[in-house]
Amino acid sequence: FDRAGHGPRQAGRRGCRRRFARGRVQGAGGPPFFSIVRSPRLTALAPALLRARKDAECLAAVGALSARTASDVRCGVAAAARSRDDAQLRAYVAEAAADEDTLKTLDDASLKAAMRGLAKKGDHRTAYSLLDALPAERRSPLLYHGAITACGRSRPIKGRTAMLLWRRMKEENVTVPRATYNALLHAAQGSLTENATSALLAAMDRDGVALNVVSYNVALNSLAKQGRFSEVLSLLEAMESASIKPTEVTFGTAINGAARANNSAAAVALLGAQTSVGLPLGDPAFASALEACLNDPDTAAGASRAAEVLDALAAADVSLKRRERVEELARAAISRNRAAVDDDRLKRDEDILGMVLQNRRVEV
């Protein structure tokens, strides 16, 4: 083998790479020769392949070993994380977490790469087991962030686990940065504890962590999904007081919250506010506003406000992606109390939008 780990020089680099990727002696049909022979040169193969950034070959070499050392597992973790091989990353991390000596061989860079890969996949179980196996002094804010992100990306969301990790951070006096708080706010949507979002916002205020627009949007979404619309409105006021500029996501989330609360007045007001700050309106905002009008207990008010939404839609000149859905919601909302909507106004909106907005009787 040469120093780059390419194998016998006379065999050529390409031929050697093919043999190691297959994990078999060329021309032989037996088991991988790595599991039969283990020499000092073979032991150095995986690290050499890893240094040469031959991740697929490195994983093949490590996987073929019958008795892996701590160094072999470390190579497997690093190569799997770099190549984004989720299945092998999960397997090697689980193997490393189960052995204290192996865990010690994982440097900070390997741990960060492994946790980043687990977070992207939403593998909260493996991320938690890796973090739990580490001694307290090695549990950095970045590793906690990765495990909490994995909880938020898991399906279903593991809010309780994320909150447990946050409490452990506080107990171990680990600094909780704003990005981690944002990940916690997202994961809190899956927590069965209703006040999880409020507790996190209070902790951010107590720790002097300023909320940014991402923090507000995530918190608004969490509160809207829980049906706590009064708190959504309070948070919007706090956002305005903090001079944080809202985005389309901000208004879309708030209007969705109004729809969940069957509050057509708030939905129409939020549509107007979004227009006033110069943010374009889209399908989700109009659909949520019409849904609020459709479900408003006051049928007359709901029908009248549905007409206001249609006026805004006609003025906005929006290319609707979910046109049929918007048309269906509008027609249903107006038909709840047809007398509350002016005929000429409705006919004008029909002509502009090219929609059928009222149920017409067909005479036979």
pLDDT at 54: 94
pLDDT at 359: 66
pLDDT at 45: 86
Give the pLDDT confidence of 213-241 residue by residue, as tens digits: 999 999 999 899 888 999 999 999 999 99
Instruction: Tell me how far apart the terminal alpha carbons of the chain are, to the nearest angstrom.
Output: 91
pLDDT at 329: 93
- Mean pLDDT, residues 312-322: 84
Question: Between 99 and 362, whose confidence is greater?
Answer: 99
**Residue for token digits 């708080």?**
181
Is residue 96 within 8 Å of residue 127, measured between CB atoms?
no
Q: 161-165, 195-199, 250-254 — which is least confidently predicted?
A: 195-199
pLDDT at 9: 47
Q: What percent of the chain has pLDDT over 70?
A: 85
Round to whole Å and give the CA distance between 60 and 200.
Answer: 44
| Burial (CB count within 10 angstroms: exposed 0-12, middle 13-18, buried 19+), residue 167 | exposed
pLDDT at 22: 47
Round to whole Å and give the CA distance between 147 and 114.
Answer: 11
243: left (phi over 0), alpha (psi -120 to 50) or beta: left
Counting Cα atoms < 13 Å in the Cβ hemisphere of 65 gives 21
Round to whole Å and give the CA distance between 45 and 86.
Answer: 23
Counting Cα atoms < 13 Å in the Cβ hemisphere of 199 gives 11
Q: Is the pLDDT of residue 19 over 70?
A: no
Backbone angles phi, psi at 101, to 5 degrees: -65, -40
Round to whole Å and give the CA distance between 144 and 139.
Answer: 7
Give the pLDDT confidence of 83-140 residue by residue, as tens digits: 989 999 999 999 999 998 899 989 999 999 999 999 999 999 999 999 999 999 999 9
Round to whole Å and give the CA distance between 9 and 4.
Answer: 11
pLDDT at 173: 95
pLDDT at 42: 62
pLDDT at 291: 96
pLDDT at 67: 79
- Distinct helix (H) and strand (E) counts, the chain: 21, 0
Q: Which parts of 9-54 fold into alpha helices (H)?
A: 13-22, 40-43, 45-51
pLDDT at 36: 40
DSSP 170-223: HHTT----HHHHHHHHHHGGG-S-TTHHHHHHHHHHHTT----HHHHHHHHHHH
Q: What share of the chain is helix, strand, coil (3-state, %, to 5)?
A: 70, 0, 30
Amino acid at 38: R
Q: Is the pLDDT of residue 193 over 90?
A: no
135-166 burial, b if ≥16 CB within 10 A, otherwise e? eeeebbeebbbbbbbbbbbbeebbbbbbbebb
Round the average pLDDT of the chain to a whole number and report it: 86
Backbone angles phi, psi at 98, to 5 degrees: -80, -10
Round to whole Å and give the CA distance between 342 and 277.
Answer: 29
pLDDT at 194: 65
Is residue 75 within 8 Å of residue 46, measured between CB atoms?
yes
Token pair in block for residue 85: 């091989």
pLDDT band at 309 (very low <50, low <70, confident <90, very high): very high
pLDDT at 320: 83
Q: What percent of the chain has pLDDT over 90?
A: 64
Total number of residues shown for the chain: 364
Task: State the pTM of this model.
Answer: 0.77
Long-range contacts made by residues 226-233, C-beta under 8 angstroms, separation at least 24? 226/189, 226/194, 226/197, 227/260, 227/261, 228/194, 229/257, 229/258, 229/260, 229/261, 229/263, 229/266, 231/198, 232/257, 233/266
pLDDT at 163: 94
- Mean pLDDT, residues 61-75: 86
Q: Is the pLDDT of residue 66 over 80?
A: no
Round to whole Å and give the CA distance between 248 and 230.
Answer: 20
